[in-house]
C-alpha cells in the first residue's frame, strides 16, 4: 500500500466495505470479499451473494418524479452504517489464498473449454502420478 500514490490511498476506510453503492436510481453491491488479495488479505471463498433482480430492472424512462431516497431507503441506511459492514480477513505480507479457496474455485468454475484441453490435463496428471509412483518404489 505504501507504494500507491497518495491520491490513490484516500478512502481506505471504505475499501473493504461490503454493501450497496448508490447513485440516484442505481444500486450496485460492492463485494470486496471476492478480491481480497490486492488488499494484502488472505483470500477465502466468498460468502454467497444474492442480487435483487428488481434493482436491475429499474431504468429512468418515465420516472422523472421518483423519490429515490424513499425508494432506496433500505440501501441508504446500510450505506450510512458502512463502517459496520466491512471484510474481516487476516492480512498477509504477500497476496495469497486459503487452503479451501481452490477447492471452492474449482467447484464453481469451468476448468476446460474443449475436450482436448481436458484430455491433455488428465494425461499430464496421469504421467505425473506414474512418475511419482515409480520413484517411490
Q: pTM of the prediction?
A: 0.65
Q: What does the alpha-carbon distance between residue 86 and residue 78 come to, in Å, rounded to a whole number?
A: 11
42 vs 13, more confident: 42
- The predicted pLDDT at position 74 comes to 93
- The predicted pLDDT at position 1 comes to 64
pLDDT tens for 81-118 read: 999 998 888 888 887 888 899 889 888 888 888 888 78
pLDDT tens for 10-22 read: 877 788 899 999 8
Q: What does the H/E/C string look like for the chain?
A: CCCCCHHHHCCHHHCCECEEEEECCEEEEECHHHCCHHHCECECCCCCCCCCHHHHHCCCCCCCCCCHHHHCHHHHHHHHCHHHCECCCCECCCCCECHHHHHHHHHHCCCCCCHHHHHHHHHHHHHHHHHHHHHHC
- The predicted pLDDT at position 70 comes to 92
Amino acid at each position: 500500500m505504501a507504494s500507491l500514490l497518495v491520491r490513490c490511498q484516500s478512502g481506505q476506510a471504505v475499501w473493504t466495505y461490503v454493501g450497496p453503492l448508490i447513485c440516484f436510481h442505481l444500486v450496485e453491491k460492492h463485494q470486496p470479499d471476492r478480491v481480497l488479495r490486492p488488499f494484502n488479505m488472505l483470500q477465502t471463498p466468498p460468502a454467497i451473494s444474492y442480487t435483487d433482480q428488481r434493482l436491475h430492472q429499474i431504468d429512468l424512462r418515465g420516472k422523472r418524479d421518483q423519490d429515490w431516497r424513499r425508494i432506496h431507503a433500505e440501501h441508504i441506511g446500510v450505506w450510512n452504517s458502512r463502517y459496520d459492514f466491512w471484510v474481516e480477513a487476516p492480512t498477509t505480507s504477500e497476496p495469497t489464498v486459503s487452503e479451501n479457496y481452490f477447492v471452492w474455485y474449482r467447484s464453481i468454475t469451468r476448468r476446460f473449454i474443449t475436450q482436448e484441453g481436458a484430455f491433455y490435463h488428465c494425461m499430464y496428471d496421469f504421467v505425473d502420478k506414474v512418475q511419482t509412483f515409480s520413484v517411490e518404489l
